[in-house]
Amino acid sequence: MKKLSALLLVIASLALVACGKGEQINGHNTNTAYKSIRMIKNRLPTDNRIEYEVSFWTIRDSIKDDAEFLSTVDGKNPQQIVELGKEFYQKRKASGFKEYEQYSSWEEMIAKFGKERIEQDRSKSKNKKDQVDSSRDNVMYKLDNI
């Protein structure tokens, strides 16, 4: 009996491991694609997140049709998404895409978005600090417990 339960546990574990896509985008539908993008992004080192995210949205902005978009990103890992993002960037820049005229290269665009993200994070943390400080100065008290 012990051997049977151990065997079932091993089989179930192998089945779960075999079914998981791991670090690949699940392009079954747009919701699963977005969820897997978010999950993968959160697992990436901080330095790689911006490029990955910009790559994904560059692809998404280039491919408006959901079915085509999903088939393009389905099963791709982070490195493949970045490579595709660079390809789409180059194609759109060569075709005169107005939004990319301000950047001389992919790396420059990524650096700009990285700086913007840092500024956003600073602004958010400053706002949170201000909110905490203002709550200390608040003279309104909850009198529910009295």
pTM of the model: 0.69
At 87, list the tokens: 């390809």
Q: What is the pLDDT of residues 48-89, one digit of tens each?
A: 999 999 999 999 999 999 999 999 999 999 999 999 999 999
Contacts of 46 by beta carbon, 8 Å cutoff, 6+ apart: none
Low-confidence ranges of the chain (pLDDT < 70): 1-22, 127-146
- Report the C-alpha gap between 115 and 125 in whole angstroms: 16
